[in-house]
A and B are shown apart, each in its own frame.
Chain A
Amino acid sequence: MQLTVPMGTQLRWLPWLLLLAIASLSLAPSLRLVVEAFSQPLNAESSLWRVLRDAATWRAAWHSLYTAGLGTLISLLFGSLFAFAITLTDIRAKQSLVFCFMLPMMIPPQVTALSWLQLFGPASPLLNSLGLAPPLGSPQPLYSANGIALLLGIQHAPLVFLALRTSLLSLPRELVEAARINGAGQWQVWRDIILPVTRSGLIAGGAIAFVSGLGNFGIPAMLGIPASYYVLPTLIYQRMAGFGHSVLSEVASLSLLIGGLALIGVAIQQRLLERSRFALLGQSGRPHDFILGSRRWMLEAGLGTILALILLAPLAALVVGSLVPALGVPLTLETLTLSAYGEMLGRQGVTLRAFHNSLWLAGGAALVLMMLSVLLAYYMQRLSPRLRLWLTSVIEIPYALPGVVLAIACILLFVRPLPVIDVALYGTLGIIFIAYLARFLTVCLKPVSSSLGQLDGSLEEAAQLAGAGPLRRLVDIVLPLIAPAVFAGGLLVFLIAVNELTVSALLWSAGNETLGVLIFNLDQSGDKVLASAVAVLVVVMVAALMLGLNLLASRLPRGVIPWRH
């Protein structure tokens, strides 16, 4: 393996520094986890064996599979409906439909859960205001396995949509045109040509939705814990919250189990993909406008209704829920109050602190990862394709693993003070920061790499002949040309990290709360009005950041911004 590629006389230290960074951020946590789980001899007393014998483990595993599986079916239903309708037909307002449909993916799961909770049940401020609330004492229908599955399905439907849309856009126009010339109608073309050829997109989308559902923490935590319905991530959370460090190695074994399930999901996806992939020739990248004629408005109305139900209604409930004085009070002109917002900004020290913490964590992680990504992408471009693929996969591990697993791995790694420098990271913001760097490196690296890959290599060679060394070339030539992608990567990291809950739920400590943890804790302690107010602010922030990224879109390579093509 050739790791030290010729970079000239400068930057000779760079490859080693970068490899060290990848090793400590991307590999060390998961390795530490594996070591912990297998460190004891495998006998009746070992924690791995205890975990495998415990009925609660298998119950939670079944719950995980059930909710993620049912959620995947719902994602497939919504995602493919929107992908086919928006990509294939001549309906109007496609850009806005895409933006609205993608929004649930970018809204953090705990906010989604909270807004749906505000929509249903006897205490729903919206239903109370409309006089439709069920009688007091009737159950909250979302506190159930099917409630979790429904919300997982809605949260991850955009993943199916994206995978299928990519596959549809890469479908050569000639294939469809050839079928039309040979006498197939629009419906037959869809059934006989498009559906079979884009099956790989459906499979890929379904698999991503399933793996994401397995790893989701926010939704099963908000909906499952009140009903004592535990999935693997919430089981881990509950054990850690209840027993602390004494159960660390047991929890490590549980983490290994869920990590293994996720990896099996990825492997099955790749196996299925290999079998259903066709080599497509011809001109692609253009949508295939199927003429719907008089039925167009029906489809438009249908999609609009779905969006209203899965996006607008819960968000409206959330807003209403943040404006009432207390849960169960209907919203009228007399009861309307902004006191929750006042409390959030004024009296509640913890709220401001959480905003402050999350903004610093997300902003810092975005900045560090932007710099790291530029250097890493610049270096990786010079490696052989095989080595590059290998490194990319390693960097992807902390993002592909469920967040709970990464959190446990980080606790194991930092529970004792670091050797040599004797710095204790556990119980500080530092451990969350490191975990964010590890988890989101791939989010920032991907756009930077793809932008760098599109750069004509001779641009740099010309500078080299002009006498510019590697550092000069990076600053003068490469950086100005990939700057939009670097900013987009940084913004994406910020957008995801500022609302992150799964990792920080296990890593936070008093004084070191994040925004995600704040909403979760407020909800758990029954302060739903204040939680709603914070959540409304989070939604506004998400939408603003997404619109900001939209402004960059024209200067970015295709596929950098997840909700645009």
Chain B
Amino acid sequence: MAALVLDSLVKRFESTPVVDELSLEIEPGEFVALLGPSGCGKTTTLRLLAGFETLSSGQVSLNGRSLAHASLHLPPEQRRMGMVFQSYALWPHMSVADNVGYTLKMRHIKGDEYRRRVGQALETVQLASLAERMPQALSGGQRQRVALARCLVTEPEVVLLDEPLANLDRHLRASMEETFREFHRRTGATMVYVTHDQSEAMSLADRIAVMKSGRLAQWATPETLYRRPRNEWVARFIGQGSILRLPDVTPGRAIPGAELMSLAMHHECEWDTPVLVRPEQVRLGSTGLPARVENCIFRGERYELWLCLNSGQRLFAYHHEALPIGREVRLVLQQGWSLEPEA
């Protein structure tokens, strides 16, 4: 049985649907990312799970117990979930220890038990030495870890994270990602992580729900999303690559290199089916399809090339050295993935 079930969630603000018929079944202990461009409804979905927003229709249930449906709305204080906010939401008038212990106080846990659990939570995020500090005296990363400890202290079954890394600089992000991974491994909690950053979602999540305009675009593991995206929009949103329009292929099929190359040579057909070619599937060599270098950009570890095929279609590739613009090259395609056309 799935731990957290979202069943046809709909949320309308003044009759415009922000979340539209969203259904997900999340396994216990799974790390799930809600990924999408801004305004896709991912944060609203998270707030529906927490209970800050009321459902327009649909149902949320946890371990078979309904949290919210058309005639029921369990308030957030009774859902016993943990949440890490984008702004951390540390109470500025309470010390680090008081912030962490507040949830325990609400559950009437006092005395030694209280001190033990606060100490333990702070130790887990390596902040035991800062217990008496006020939040204003902490750095961004430390604040984030206090917010995590606050979640940790009551061992909730579900932890919600709302773009927790958005306010941190790039170097801190990498180390905080590791902290989240560690946190997930230790607690075994079900985690729902909202982000607009695909690399963050890909590196952290077991499964990713890609959202577009309030609807679920695809619900899959990171590998599947990268290798076998369902449609053109997901393919463009996740990772890099180029999309060729090729005749006579059915969507949702891996196309072997030979077939791909012979199709790509034709150019007097109806260009109807989009086919995704990731840059690592393009090899430059002495044989294969002729193409011309249109642009060449240095990215440190490699060069990125934009190539133009004879048929006029453009192709994105990696190369180990710089090539002058206009140079004629030959290339081999190893594999492609055919997509549903954009709706």
A positions within 8 Å CB-CB of B:
6, 8-9, 456, 458-459, 461-469, 472, 476-477, 480-481
Contacts and interface: CB of A to CB of B under 8 A. Distances in A.
Interface stretch (B102-110, B220-228, B249-257): B102-110
B339 interface: no
Nearest to B104: A466
Contact of A466 (B52, B85, B106): B106
B150 interface: yes
Interface string B82-112: 1101110111110000000011001100000
B150 A467 contact: no
A461 B83 contact: yes
19 contacts: A6-B75, A458-B85, A458-B87, A461-B50, A461-B76, A461-B85, A462-B83, A462-B89, A462-B90, A464-B75, A464-B76, A465-B50, A465-B76, A465-B77, A467-B77, A467-B107, A469-B77, A477-B91, A480-B93
B82 A465 contact: yes
A9 B75 contact: yes
A477 B77 CA distance: 14
A476 B101 CA distance: 13
Contacts of B319: none
Contacts of B93: 480-481
Contacts of B103: 465-467
Instruction: Report which residue of A6, A456, A458 has the largest number of chain B beta carbons within 10 angstroms of its beta carbon.
Output: A458
Contacts of A465: 50, 76-77, 79, 81-83, 103
Interface in B59-83: 73, 75-83
B231 interface: no
Q: Can you list the 8 inter-chain pairs with the closest CB atoms, starting with the nearest?
A: A467-B106, A458-B89, A466-B103, A462-B89, A458-B85, A464-B76, A480-B93, A467-B77
B195 interface: no
Q: From DSSP, what is the main secondary structure of chain A's interface residues?
A: helix
Contacts of B92: 481
Contacts of B76: 461, 464-465
Contacts, number: 63
Contacts of A464: 52, 75-77
B78 to A, nearest CB: 8
A481 B91 CA distance: 9
Which has the most chain B C-beta neighbours within 10 Å: A463, A465, A467? A465
Given A459-B89, A462-B85, A477-B91, A467 B50 contact: no
B80 A463 contact: no
A514 B89 CA distance: 47
B71 to A, nearest CB: 14
B311 to A, nearest CB: 47
B54 interface: yes
A140 B314 CA distance: 94
A459 to B, nearest CB: 5
Given A461-B50, A466-B103, A467-B80, 9 more contacts: A458-B86, A459-B91, A461-B52, A465-B77, A465-B79, A466-B150, A468-B102, A480-B93, A481-B92
A472 B106 contact: yes
A464 B75 CA distance: 8
Contact of A463 (B52, B73, B78, B91): B91
A424 B147 CA distance: 57
Nearest to A476: B102
A368 to B, nearest CB: 25
